[in-house]
Structure 1
Amino acid sequence: MTMRTLSLFRCAVVALTVACALPAHAERIKDLAQVGGVRGNALVGYGLVVGLDGSGDRTSQAPFTVQSLKNLLGELGVNVPSNVNPQLKNVAAVAIHAELPPFAKPGQPIDITVSSIGNAVSLRGGSLLMAPLKGADGQVYAIAQGNLIVGGFGAQGKDGSRMSVNIPSVGRIPNGATVERALPDVFGASGEITLNLHQNDFTTVSRMVNALNASFGEGAARAVDGVTVAVQAPTDPGARIGMLARIENVELSPGTAPARVVVNSRTGTVVIGAQVRVSPAAIAHGSLTVTVSESAQVSQPNAFAGGQTVVTPQSTITASNEGSRMFRFDGGATLDEIVRAVNEVGAAPGDLIAILEALKQAGALSAELEVI
């Protein structure tokens, strides 16, 4: 294993150790959920980029570029004979996409991204001609036009050799589209405000309901399902916004995440949740040996001290890279302890991944193992 891989592996272990040691803390509802109906909407369009320096579409392989240009010129009063196919190198057919933010009003600008759909080498220096942007319902919600900003660079020789830096066939136009149609107003459509959690968790929903009822009065909030909380709200827009400003700053302690181990076998990244535990198991894996054992110590106070007998668990972890080929995991050991033991002998991340997969198959890993 290279020193770089070992260093990355140790950093990952330290990071997950710190994450597992962090106590539960309060978070704002603003960071845990979003208001139902308040979201962006995808827009898409088709257009032409002109003014390229010979890096546009090759019309023999992209006939739709010529067809689009003829249609555009026809709308502007320029008639191009049907038997004439201009060999253009400074025009490129492009797809345009953007996101219409919530509460966007006509006249407001939004950013757009322009991507070549033909064989254009680069869009650097080009200008997008006026193009409509449509939503999923087929309605036009914005009009795009402007000069592209391309972060990439490309060059091509006469012999067919090419060189490119980043992606020159994609560019952006800040404030490149103007909103022409507002979205339907669903914010004040009912007497309730719905809050949708980013992640399904019944514990967090229950705690959110309790926190909102404590802030706004009993019965103000109710749980709908494992994701949604409904809150009684006034119909007046001003009062509704003021109430939402108070709601999103209410703090609560979210429920703990489920026991889960996420493994990226390509990079060797292993992320272990704090709730993960290992049942008694033994695994043979190469020449690496890890032993985790637990014992209980009884603390007996003096008869005249008035104290109580206390049983305290004690864990012993040993690791070596020679000798026995058997892993021994006693019940109750945390994966954090096991990872530390494996890391002490300089094992590769692949060894830990193989151990986790074997533990899961044996039913000794009390967690969901997710391989990405």
Structure 2
Amino acid sequence: MSKKLLIVSIIIFSFAISFSAVRIKDISEFRGARDNQLFGIGLVTGLNGSGDSGNISSEMLSNMMANLGLETDSKLNSKNTAVVMVFANIPAFYKPGMKLDVTVTAVGDAKSIENGYLIQTPLQGADKRVYAVAQGSVITGGTDVKTSSNQQKKYKISGSIPQGAIVENEIPTQLVNEDTVTINLKNPDLSTASRVSRAINVTFSNKISKAIDASSIKINVPAVFEDDLISFLAMIEDVEVQPDNKAKIIINEKTGSIIFGGNVKVADTTTSYGNFVLSIKNGQVNGSPATIDNVISALKAAGAVPQDLIAIIQNLSAGNFIYADLVVM
């Protein structure tokens, strides 16, 4: 598709700024219950000559064999192994025996780790403690077929091992602090934080929560739930609230899309662009409220093509006539 055709076929999405009610569970997390990153350094073997050309992998293999009680007279020089970094995320509340997905990436000059096998590798947290052990066949994904632009070429020095790590130790989790729990909003917003606090108080018919800032809401644990914290937290998660959000317009010329909130307001102004004159007076455009949705509709009705719309929106934003953040990608 040519660049001109891509611009002409631009897609415009409109969404309302006000969202319907959602569960607190879907917009927040309890403080103290979060994912933790794990990492380790390991060795992938079985690479059929596509491994590292240096000595590090050979030294690691020799040391591993020595740890198993096998003595070697000299270093094992082989390009069938590669030193790799191993990564995984461990969610809160994961117990020993549960499994994690693993990402494996080559450290040295290996040409490919495809079809290799990761030898048992301890995975540490930031505190240097081992929380999981990874091992298994490496999958690089992608395709070698070059007949379709929709298929991604294989990137052979990075791969994954689905369910390739076994949890050995649980990450310590502390949800309650002085008889209170705190929830953190995924998208900090003062209005949303206030609404969450009010919704919790209404649900429990008691003022047990208070918004601390734009992201945190502190909740007192009622005495009746002191011995049943999980039920209390589950009830908090199920409380519904209508989140707020900043007005925003997103323009992406590469993909041919404009995303905007239908209720984004536009100030009174007169804008001239090419053969188009946009006039907004007393908060009205063509007899309708001056929202970005109605402005674009009026311009399209006058024959404006997508590149005209993009230029006019950018000019309005530059002049501070649009009450929204403009993001150009």
What interval of TM-score do these two structures reach, taking the shorter chain for normalisation? 0.7 to 0.9
- What's the secondary structure of 2:238's corresponding residue? coil
Indicate how the Cα distance of structure 1 residues 108 and 346 shifts in structure 2: closer, same or farther if over 3 A, else same. same
Q: Does 1:363 align with 2:304?
A: no
- The code of the aligned residue for 2:213 comes to D
- The code of the aligned residue for 1:316 comes to N
Q: Which has the higher contact order (CA 8 A, sep 6+)?
A: 2
Instruction: Return the index of the structure with the highest Cα Rg.
Output: 1
Structure 2 Cα separation of the partners of residues 65 and 154 of structure 1: 27
Q: CA deviation at 1:28?
A: 1.2
Structure 1 Cα separation of the partners of residues 23 and 185 of structure 2: 12
* Among candidates 302, 309, 323, match of residue 352 of structure 1: 309
Q: Does 1:35 align with 2:41?
A: no
Q: CA deviation at 1:133?
A: 0.5
Q: Deviations over 1:230-267 (max 9, x none)?
A: 11225877611101111111112223x22222223443
Indicate how the Cα distance of structure 1 residues 352 and 370 shifts in structure 2: closer, same or farther if over 3 A, else same. same
CA contact (8 A) 1:154 1:168 kept: no
Structure 2 Cα separation of the partners of residues 47 and 33 of structure 1: 35
Identity fraction in percent: 35
* Among candidates 137, 140, 143, match of residue 150 of structure 1: 140
Structure 2 Cα separation of the partners of residues 259 and 275 of structure 1: 8
Q: Does 1:105 align with 2:100?
A: no
> Which residue of 1 is the match for residue 107 of structure 2?
117
Normalised by the length of structure 2, the TM-score is 0.85
> Which residue of 2 is the match for residue 53 of structure 1?
48
Q: CA deviation at 1:78?
A: 4.1
RMSD of Structure 2 on Structure 1 (CA): 2.9
Q: Deviations over 1:115-137 (max 9, x none)?
A: 22223232222111111101111
> Which residue of 1 is the match for residue 64 of structure 2?
72
Indicate how the Cα distance of structure 1 residues 198 and 2 shifts in structure 2: closer, same or farther if over 3 A, else same. same
CA contact (8 A) 1:259 1:274 kept: no
Structure 1 Cα separation of the partners of residues 141 and 217 of structure 2: 43
Q: Does 1:132 align with 2:89?
A: no
- The code of the aligned residue for 1:30 comes to K
Indicate how the Cα distance of structure 1 residues 349 and 75 shifts in structure 2: closer, same or farther if over 3 A, else same. farther
Q: Does 1:230 align with 2:224?
A: no
- The code of the aligned residue for 1:365 comes to I
CA contact (8 A) 1:290 1:342 kept: no
- What's the secondary structure of 1:365's corresponding residue? coil
The 5 Å alignment of 1:77-88 reads: 77-80=69-72, 86=77, 88=78
Q: Deviations over 1:22-71 (max 9, x none)?
A: 864221111121111111100011111111222222x1xx4322232233
- The code of the aligned residue for 1:69 comes to L
CA contact (8 A) 2:284 2:290 kept: no
CA contact (8 A) 2:102 2:164 kept: yes
- Comparing 90-99 with 171-180, greater Cα deviation is found at 171-180
Q: CA deviation at 1:277?
A: 2.1
CA contact (8 A) 1:122 1:153 kept: no
The 5 Å alignment of 1:150-189 reads: 150-152=140-142, 165-189=153-177
Q: Does 1:44 align with 2:46?
A: no
Q: Deviations over 1:61-90 (max 9, x none)?
A: x432223223323323445567x571x221
Q: CA deviation at 1:187?
A: 2.4
Structure 2 Cα separation of the partners of residues 151 and 352 of structure 1: 40
What runs of 5+ residues in structure 1 fail to find an aligned partner?
Answer: 156-163, 296-312, 318-330
Q: Does 1:339 align with 2:293?
A: no
> Which residue of 2 is the match for residue 291 of structure 1?
278
Q: Deviations over 1:157-204 (max 9, x none)?
A: xxxxxxx93223222222211112211231244411111111122222
Indicate how the Cα distance of structure 1 residues 226 and 346 shifts in structure 2: closer, same or farther if over 3 A, else same. same
- What's the secondary structure of 1:111's corresponding residue? strand
Indicate how the Cα distance of structure 1 residues 314 and 103 shifts in structure 2: closer, same or farther if over 3 A, else same. closer
Structure 1 Cα separation of the partners of residues 72 and 306 of structure 2: 65
The 5 Å alignment of 1:204-215 reads: 204-215=192-203
- What's the secondary structure of 1:165's corresponding residue? coil
Structure 2 Cα separation of the partners of residues 248 and 56 of structure 1: 49
Q: CA deviation at 1:3?
A: 4.3
- The code of the aligned residue for 1:64 comes to I
CA contact (8 A) 2:192 2:242 kept: yes
Structure 2 Cα separation of the partners of residues 350 and 358 of structure 1: 12
The 5 Å alignment of 1:307-318 reads: 315-316=285-286
The 5 Å alignment of 1:181-260 reads: 181-233=169-221, 239-255=228-244, 257-260=245-248
> Which residue of 2 is the match for residue 281 of structure 1?
269
Q: Deviations over 1:79-107 (max 9, x none)?
A: 5567x571x22111111100111111222
Post-superposition, which runs of at least 4 consecutive aligned residues in structure 1 deviate over 6 A? none
Q: Does 1:267 align with 2:255?
A: yes
- The code of the aligned residue for 2:99 comes to P
